[in-house]
């Protein structure tokens, strides 16, 4: 298969490319990423280096293009020259709090950029070409806003976003549905729940907590410790993406005889929310076990309980029944195992890369 992965230097995108190279054969994979400076570009280049090293001898090909999905002419050239059969759009401006102060970047990447991808998929069959057989794109658990009903189901209303980031992701879902209906593009949106793991995003809580704890700083726990998150290990996210991308929604007719858009939405989450205080406690234990914090370290002395931040929600909790029904899969990595793998990676990262600062 010819597979285009946007956001290929990002956390999920890089792990997806690695999984395809290591577990499958016969793919021609193109990765696209603008390598922006939202967080340390060295981590993105580290991920790309790992992909490049993993490719030889796998029976697959890998090529990386540095560019922005908001650049319509570039996207058109990539689609015209590569003719992807599967498109996995993971490129986006991430971060709930960053969207409050930097809305322009969200409009450019999450709205204009995604529109460019949809238009390229639409025209991919021009001139009798086979066209894009499946568009898989990243949505987010943030679309659920402050819904009080848990666990969150894809059938729930998501009309009250509490952040601009969430609003852009909901907009992506609506755009994808419209293009699926109008132009018969098989599309699947995936609502990811609090993804974590090795070589993750430094703006995520577990990464930032680790850096502050090792620097002797206090860590702020929002909503006075009463927030709960459905932490989902990156390998589980990637396994879900791989299963979904190989099984596009089928074109079919509805009961009224009219065509039903080949469009689906799924949650990918662990289905077991954990309080932030318990999360921090486990992280501290793993940092001690790895020798990064001293024996007897009491993480409670470093916690500062503070009010809820704008854009945050009290709880995230995924209902993955649809994913289990259609793909026989649900995430299963427990938090301690996942954090242990992150801490092991971070210790090596700290030794090799942080020492250069």
Spatial separation of the C-alpha atoms in residues 112 and 75, rounded to whole Å: 12
Q: Which of 98, 165, 179, 196 is catalytic?
A: 165
Q: Quick check: bond before 151 cis, omega within 30?
A: yes
Which of 76, 12, 9 is CA-nearest to residue 38? 9
Q: Rounded distance, CA 321 to CA 327, Å? A: 10
Burial class (CB in 10 A: 0-12, 13-18, 19+), 307: exposed
Q: Which residues pair with 260 in a beta bridge?
A: 252
d(CA 119, CA 179): 8
Instruction: Map residue 306 onto helix, strand or coil.
Output: coil
Measured distance CA(139)–CA(165) in Å, rounded: 10
Structural contact between residues 61 and 28, judged by C-beta atoms closer than 8 angstroms: yes
Written as six digits, the tokens of 278 are 């318990």
CA 19 from centre of chain: 15
Q: How far apart are the first and last CA of the chain?
A: 41
**How far apart (Å, rounded) are the C-alpha atoms in residues 229 and 317?**
7
106 is catalytic: no
**Residues 317, 228: contact at Cβ < 8 Å?**
yes
User: Please, what sign has the CA dihedral across residues 106, 109, 111, 114?
Assistant: negative
108 in Cβ contact with 70 (< 8 Å)? yes
Helix (H, G, I), strand (E, B) or coil at 38: coil
How many Cβ atoms from other residues are within 10 Å of residue 356's Cβ? Answer: 6
Angle 11-23/234-245 helices, nearest 10 degrees? Answer: 60
Q: Could you list the active site residues?
A: 165
């Amino acid at each position: 298969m010819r597979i285009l992965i946007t956001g290929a230097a990002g956390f999920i995108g890089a792990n997806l490319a690695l999984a395809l190279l290591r577990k499958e054969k016969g793919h021609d994979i193109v990765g696209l990423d603008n390598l922006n400076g939202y967080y340390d570009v060295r981590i993105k280049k580290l991920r790309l280096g790992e992909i490049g090293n993993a490719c030889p001898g796998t029976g697959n090909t890998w090529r990386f293009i540095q560019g922005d999905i908001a650049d319509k002419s570039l996207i058109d050239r990539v689609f015209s020259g590569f003719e992807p059969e599967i498109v996995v759009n993971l490129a986006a401006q991430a971060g709930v709090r960053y969207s409050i102060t930097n809305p322009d970047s969200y409009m450019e990447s999450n709205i204009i950029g995604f529109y460019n991808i949809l238009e390229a998929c639409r025209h991919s069959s021009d001139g009798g070409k086979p066209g894009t057989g499946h568009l898989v794109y990243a949505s987010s658990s943030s679309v659920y806003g402050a819904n009080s009903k848990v666990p969150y189901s894809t059938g729930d209303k998501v009309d009250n976003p509490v952040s601009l980031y969430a609003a852009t992701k909901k907009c992506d879902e609506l755009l994808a549905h419209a293009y699926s209906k109008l132009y018969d593009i098989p599309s699947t949106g995936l609502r990811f729940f609090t993804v974590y793991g090795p070589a993750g995003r430094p703006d995520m809580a577990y990464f930032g907590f680790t850096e502050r704890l090792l620097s002797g700083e206090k860590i702020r726990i929002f909503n006075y410790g009463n927030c709960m998150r459905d932490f989902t290990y990156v390998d589980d996210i990637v396994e879900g993406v791989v299963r979904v991308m190989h099984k596009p929604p089928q074109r079919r007719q509805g009961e009224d005889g009219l065509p039903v858009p080949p469009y689906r939405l799924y949650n990918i989450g662990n289905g077991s929310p954990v309080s932030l205080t318990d999360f921090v406690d486990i992280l501290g234990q793993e940092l001690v076990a790895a020798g990064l914090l001293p024996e007897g370290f009491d993480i409670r002395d470093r916690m500062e309980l503070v009010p809820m931040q704008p854009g945050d929600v009290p709880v995230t909790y995924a209902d993955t029944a649809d994913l289990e029904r259609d793909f026989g899969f649900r995430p299963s990595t427990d938090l301690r195992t996942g954090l242990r793998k992150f801490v092991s990676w971070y210790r090596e990262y700290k030794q090799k890369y942080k020492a250069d600062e």
